[in-house]
Structure 1
Amino acid sequence: MSHLSPALYATLAEIVPELHVHCVDPWCLIGSAAALLLGAQTGAADVDVLTSRADAEALMAHWASRREPAFTPPEADRFRSHFARFHFPGAPVEVMGALELHADDRWRPVLPGKLVLAGVNGLAVPVPSVEDQIRLCESFGRPKDLRRAALLKQLGGERP
């Protein structure tokens, strides 16, 4: 896909087939990579994968040699999950098992909503729909997420 950087393409080409094999529960990409796959004019420095806690455990075992043990996710007061960051040659991959967002004085599960499949050179990559990505970005409320929501809103009725 011409809108993907070679680094992001290389990472997706490696991880997506493994996610399909090693995840038992539904999973999806979120964040900048997901927005980019649906056509938002943005970049992606990493790949965020939303999974169940059990599937996060399975990926941690499978990709143990790639794990970045010293990495601590930022904003632990706002987000929590069964988290691990992995080194891949193209871009880092962050797995968030059972991600929760702290809002209104309580922890709430982050639910991706309706998933759609984005195609990457014959690979089916599940991502939240444009509307659900906008909802997620706005609920996260950080400046980078609000900018991403604005970019997604520019897509209007366009779909890949």
Structure 2
Amino acid sequence: MTLPDPLHETIVAVGSILADARDPWWIISGAAAAIHGAQPITVSDVDVMLSIEDAKRLFARIGIAQEPQSNHPRFRSEIFGRWEACPLVAEFMANFVLRDLDGVWRPMLPSTRRAVTIGAITIFVPELQELRGMFQRFGRPKDLTRIKLLDHLS
């Protein structure tokens, strides 16, 4: 797998700071699609889902400020913070929920977890089909484009 240097460096940093996480965590969204091999893809940040407890420990340890809950009409997290110490921003989300197209807020938590080793670091992403389903639920134009890229991999 060949990733652009800024994405590679950010993913390795995320994996390093989460090496001692107690609960499952995942890199999702565009970064996960790139890790699976989707090309060409533009990734502007690295989205990470983790547990509330791990988020609290991580934020305290590396100095991430918890941001106020978003008023976004489709997405929100009980805990959200941005880590800007890498080439790309890493966004950490705990207890992430999505307002589906039927108007109901539902948890967004992967059930699959693929370990990917990059150098000496292990990171985790949802399996390809589950990631595709997440993009379908997100439903934004960029997510629909990412589905087409993932379909070329299966």
Task: Give the TM-score normalised by the residue count of structure 1.
Answer: 0.85
Number of aligned residue pairs: give it.
151
1:128-147 mapped onto 2 (5 Å cutoff): 128-147=126-145
Question: For residue 35 of structure 1, what is the aligned residue in structure 2?
Answer: 33
CA displacement at 1:11 relative to structure 2: 1.6
Unmatched 5+ stretches in structure 2: none
Question: For residue 119 of structure 2, what is the aligned residue in structure 1?
Answer: 121
**Is 1:77 aligned with 2:73?**
yes
CA displacement at 1:67 relative to structure 2: 4.8
- State how far apart, in whole Å, the 2-side matches of 1:100 and 1:127 are: 18
CA displacement at 1:49 relative to structure 2: 0.4
What is the identity, as a one-letter code, of the residue corresponding to 1:17?
A: S
SS in 1 for 2:49: strand
- State how far apart, in whole Å, the 2-side matches of 1:99 and 1:124 are: 23
SS in 2 for 1:20: coil
**Is 1:49 aligned with 2:45?**
no
Task: Give the TM-score normalised by the residue count of structure 2.
Answer: 0.89
| CA 33–100 in structure 1, closer or farther in 2 if over 3 Å, else same | same
What is the identity, as a one-letter code, of the residue corresponding to 1:139?
A: R
Deviates more, 1:44-53 or 1:5-14: 5-14
**Is 1:88 aligned with 2:85?**
yes
CA displacement at 1:122 relative to structure 2: 3.1
> Is the Cα–Cα contact under 8 Å of residues 113 and 127 in structure 2 kept in the other structure?
yes
State the superposition RMSD in angstroms.
2.0
> Is the Cα–Cα contact under 8 Å of residues 115 and 124 in structure 2 kept in the other structure?
yes
SS in 2 for 1:125: strand
- Percent sequence identity over matched residues? 34
Unmatched 5+ stretches in structure 1: none
Deviations 1:65-99 (A, max 9, x none): x5596x986x7110110111110231100001010
